[in-house]
Structure 1
Amino acid sequence: MHKDLEKNFLADFEKNQNIAHKICRLYTTNQSAHNDLFQEITIQVWKNYPKFRGDSKFSTWMYRVALNTAISLYRKSTRKVKTQDFSDVAFKVKATDYDDTEEVQLKALYKAVHQLNDIDKALIFLYLEDKPYKEISETLGISSVNARVKMNRAKEKLKNILNP
């Protein structure tokens, strides 16, 4: 049973690992912090994987776990990531290098998004990922109406940052 769980996890995670990389890019400013956060997200997704019931798509569930991990770690005043030793984890994820060459033109946008609060960052990120409001509200645990209102406010903040 454990082997099947591990096999299913590896397949699901490797197929969706860009979610973790994108969230790491959004919440970190250097490669070392990116790697640490990616490792912590991987561990948290693995720890919570047995609780995944399939009520939503795996990617939606993974967004939620990854965003919650990033937000909770970066809300701490030290802004340091506390991690476990990766060798303590029984599995090995085949990580692919994150290639950001396609996103070079988005650097200004990411720089502006970094100035937003954690919830606004998450909203803009999910919006940029073309997630419908229903999925955004499920991921963040808020109502669809609340997601739309917060999204409009976050977009306005972003416009003001980009066009002072």
Structure 2
Amino acid sequence: MTDPPTNERDFASLIKQHSRIINKVSYFYANDKLPFDDLRQEIYVNIWLGLKQFRGDSKMSTWIYRVAVNSALMALR
């Protein structure tokens, strides 16, 4: 397991590596009240804030997917 990123450069690399997952979730949940770009930005923030809680029990891609879906669902409430 690799450690989660702790600086902006590593975080940007992580986001780039997993951008397909984030974009797919954003596209699926985006609507008129919650535009695609706003939702994607919300997901980025939640990933950054949650990195300290990533335990490595799953792959990073699985964790990012769950954060993205949970962020989208919370934003739609």
TM-score band (shorter)? 0.7 to 0.9
The percentage of counterpart residues that share the same residue type is: 35
Normalised by the length of structure 1, the TM-score is 0.40
**Higher RCO, 1 vs 2 (CA within 8 Å, ≥6 residues apart):** 2
Cα distance, 1:14 vs. partner? 1.3
Report deviation, 1:41. 0.3
1:37-76 paired onto structure 2 within 5 Å: 37-74=39-76, 76=77
SS in 2 for 1:56: coil
> Which residue is 2:16 aligned to?
14
Q: State the number of aligned residues.
A: 71
TM-score norm. by structure 2 comes to 0.80
Matches within 5 A, 1:74-85: 74=76, 76=77
> Which has more radius of gyration?
1
The Cα of 1:39 is off from its aligned counterpart by 0.4
Aligned to 1:152: none
Q: Secondary structure at the match of 2:56?
A: coil
Contiguous gaps of at least 5 residues in structure 1: 77-164
Task: Report the RMSD for the aligned CA atoms in angstroms.
Answer: 1.7
